Chains A and B, each alone.
Chain A
Amino acid sequence: MAEPQVTSLRSIEYNVPDLAKTSRFYELCWGLKKSPKKMAQITSGPLVLSTTLLFCMKAVRRVSTV
């Protein structure tokens, strides 16, 4: 059996101070779209944009996790 390995980079998650402002930028300036809640199975929490970006509204900006 082949060694298990990572096969692609899926997404990155940022902590940001202003989730709404960040969302406007990536949606209106870049054209990304929010993931549908029925797929995301969430009613609150991280904002997911086109499966490449996740944002959590926190004061500290650093690389984070899902």
Chain B
Amino acid sequence: MNFSAQDSAAVDGLHAKLSGLGITTDGDPKNISGPGGGYGFGFTDRDGLNYAISSDVAVHSDTEMVGDRPFKLSHVVLNSDKVEDQTDFYRDVLGFRVSDRTERMNFIRCSPDHHSIAFAHNEGPSLNHAAFEVPDFDALMTGAGRMKQKGFPVQWGVGRHGPGNNVFGYFFEPNGMVIEYTAEVEQVDEDAYITGTPEDWAKRVQGPDRWGFADPPTPLLRQCMGGDPQAPQVDIF
């Protein structure tokens, strides 16, 4: 995964912090010759996952919101058998804040979005899913319809999650990895937000869909979210 920092000084500061903790990096921050350029460095966390942190990366010329096109990587959910350790690392070292804890997951943020990363209690480390934001609810439904027409029907949803209050629809992509269309992600007021506990959420919402509309995830989706992707046999165009 690749994260942004505000500027080159922040990149340098994060590199110093990680190095001071004995975290393996790929060397000092430097100008990046790869896609988008910028200034940054890479590192590997204690779970063996690889990251990059950069600033001053070029923006793609085509970034406007168009119809139902996903415009942003909203969040990534990682499976981990060390959820609290990982949460502490992201909070104490990378500056994330904890938005909510539930019985199954920890949700953490690095921007006004309710969560950019979540950790699911599971065998790990592995990718649970990646979520992509579309402009609004109507865009999500239109996108879900097109996915269905192309041979990738919704595997879970449409519904509205508890933590984050985001509308969701889950699909497989061609490699069997789980992708989520999401919209209307809760925006956090840093001065007023109170982190929810598993007990809070057990009282607030029954199940992962506030609406009670979505059936549970399919068994295959659960398998893939557990880090064992199975590619659907779909001819793509």
* A residues whose Cβ falls under 8 Å from a Cβ of B: 3-14, 16-18, 21-22, 24-26, 28-33, 35-36, 39-42, 45-46, 48, 50-54, 61-66
Alpha-carbon distance A18/B116, docked complex (angstroms): 28
Measured between beta carbons, the chain B residues less than 8 angstroms from A35 are 35-36, 60
The answer to whether B146 has its CB under 8 Å from any CB of chain A is yes
Q: Which of B156-164, B171-179, B211-219 forms contacts with chain A?
A: B171-179
Given A3-B95, A29-B147, A29-B150, answer yes or no on A9-B60 (Cβ-Cβ < 8 Å): no
Given A29-B146, A39-B60, A51-B60, answer yes or no on A9-B73 (Cβ-Cβ < 8 Å): yes
A5 touches B110 (CB 8 A): yes
Name which residue of chain B comes closest to A16, CB basis. Answer: B175
Alpha-carbon distance A25/B76, docked complex (angstroms): 20
CB of B209, distance to nearest CB on chain A (Å): 24
Name which residue of chain A comes closest to B73, CB basis. Answer: A52
Measured between beta carbons, the chain B residues less than 8 angstroms from A25 are 173-174, 236
A29 touches B3 (CB 8 A): no
The answer to whether B152 has its CB under 8 Å from any CB of chain A is yes
Q: Mark B11-44, 1 if CB is under 8 A from A, else 0.
A: 1111001000000000000000111110000101
A28 touches B175 (CB 8 A): no
B9 touches A4 (CB 8 A): yes
CB of B123, distance to nearest CB on chain A (Å): 14
For B117, give its contact among A9, A18, A36, A51 (CB under 8 Å): A9
Alpha-carbon distance A24/B174, docked complex (angstroms): 10
Measured between beta carbons, the chain B residues less than 8 angstroms from A61 are 175-177, 229
B78 touches A10 (CB 8 A): no
Given A4-B9, A21-B236, A25-B174, answer yes or no on A50-B3 (Cβ-Cβ < 8 Å): no
A9 touches B127 (CB 8 A): no
The answer to whether B66 has its CB under 8 Å from any CB of chain A is yes
B42 touches A63 (CB 8 A): no
Alpha-carbon distance A21/B175, docked complex (angstroms): 9
Name which residue of chain B comes closest to A22, CB basis. Answer: B174
Given A16-B175, A18-B174, A61-B229, answer yes or no on A6-B34 (Cβ-Cβ < 8 Å): no
Name which residue of chain B comes closest to A51, CB basis. Answer: B60
Measured between beta carbons, the chain A residues less than 8 angstroms from B33 are 41
What 4 additional pairs, Cβ within 8 angstroms, besides A12-B76, A21-B236? A4-B95, A7-B3, A25-B236, A50-B63
